[in-house]
Amino acid sequence: MQDVSEILADIWTAAGGAPAALADVKLTGAEPQLPSSFRVAAAAQASISAAGLAAAEIWRLRSGQTQEVAVDMRHAVVECRSERYLRLDDKPPPPAWDKIAGVYRTGDGRFVRLHTNFPHHRNAVCRVLSCNAERDDVQAALMRWDGEAFETAAYAEGGVVALMRPHDEWSATPHAQALAKLPLITIEKIADAAPRRWPAGDRPLAGLRVLDLSRVIAGPVAGRTLAAHGADVLLISGPDLPAIPWLTMDTGRGKLTSFVELKNAEGRRVLRDLLAQADIVSQGYRPRAIEKLGFSPEEAARINPGIVYVTLSAYGHAGPWAERRGFDSLVQTATGFNHAEGQAAGVDGPKELPAQMLDHATGYFMAFGAMMAKARQAREGGSWHVRVSLAQTGRWLWDLGRIAGGHATADLKADAVLPFIEAVPSGFGELSAVRHAAMLSKTPAFWARPAMPLGSHPPEWPG
């Protein structure tokens, strides 16, 4: 089984990083950190280290200076549960899930997981089941369904659900076989463009403009990470798009936030103007949806030659599920994690990983891929497309191996988490939030802007 330094080396060199840079990384801590049969702490440390090392490499390209990148394993795994430790004016987060979200049995003895935190997803499930939005009613209705047939019907109706599959069953699907041919992170040149000079600045990403078109956790974590290294990150949301306020607070640190209505021509014009002045676009729309709006990777490269375009998807860009919606909890369920964790813990049914690890690690891989592509753009020119997915991150996590007896590990107590918390002002009140875990010796990571309610700023880049 690889240690974390070897895991990091594989990620780094696969993306074109120079092996010599790995000598500047200091990793501390040991597994396990959380109750799990999977190497969630190793995944947290490796993914955050990769992004931190990419920021240090950009600083070397800009200034000629090398620096140490130190990442503690416990700090990393705490940051990969940052939403759970957030406090607003000393108050903990409200319940995270909608009342009918979660796990149910189906008529054929299988388990399905429903993700209904957004009203339109809850309504889609209720339409398929012809029932009220109450747990008992949903369970009774599902007993009349075959699990896989319900999964198919719910997706067709616009819902987001997952049938629990053992890993072997998932691996045998055409989609899993298509994903197995893809790298963890795809970085490819999609058009010609002149190299861009690095702007002036005293931080790795100072002067770089990042357009963040994402919601929930993975994409917003990527934007938060880029902001931690000095980028001007502008989060674009729609005034009518549903959001989860607690996640907005946690992942909004360091960002500007504007409303742009992409359903009308004026809003699309505003976004085109913003895109034309950006260095990086990070987005989590489904491919056809973003293409229909006029902002596909190829169109973005025409609007702004030299752009780095980062695409997040649930299930990857190849295979029959490439268009399928999904969230961390559902990808865990569909690809074997919930089944395997349940078995390891002796539970009759699904058991979740002890962190939204697919979301968080994928967010750091998005930031890492964006920075590695940006470094290549500055060196050799071109417009670049970076692609990551929750399912590919899941495949990577699975392949890291298992921890025998991992569920005997005690969960982290409050006093273990406290050293990694800082108090910061925000547009919501005082936040207690997790500091960034990648410690850079010459350009420390920090968020220069407070988290603000969505739409707090005009849709324009800072001067």
Q: Summarize pLDDT for 359-415 with one digit per residue, the tens.
A: 999 999 999 999 999 999 999 999 999 999 999 999 999 999 999 999 999 999 999
User: At 209, which helix (H) or strand (E)?
Assistant: strand 209-213
Q: Rg of the chain over CA atoms, in angstroms?
A: 21
Which pLDDT value is given to residue 226? 98
Residue 51 CA to residue 59 CA, distance in Å, equals 13
Residue 372 CA to residue 53 CA, distance in Å, equals 10
Which pLDDT value is given to residue 176? 96
Which pLDDT value is given to residue 400? 98
**Contact criterion met (CB below 8 Å) for 372 and 187:** yes
Residue 286 CA to residue 141 CA, distance in Å, equals 30
Q: Which residues of the chain have pLDDT under 70?
A: 287
Which pLDDT value is given to residue 88? 95
Which pLDDT value is given to residue 93? 81
Phi, psi of 9 (to 5 degrees): -60, -40
**Contact criterion met (CB below 8 Å) for 360 and 44:** yes
Which pLDDT value is given to residue 313? 94
Own/partner contacts of 286-291, CB < 8 Å, gap of 24 or more, are 286/313, 286/323, 286/325, 287/311, 287/313, 287/317, 287/322, 287/323, 288/323, 290/213
Superfamily of chain region 4-94+178-318+354-440: Crotonobetainyl-coa:carnitine coa-transferase; domain 1 (3.40.50.10540)
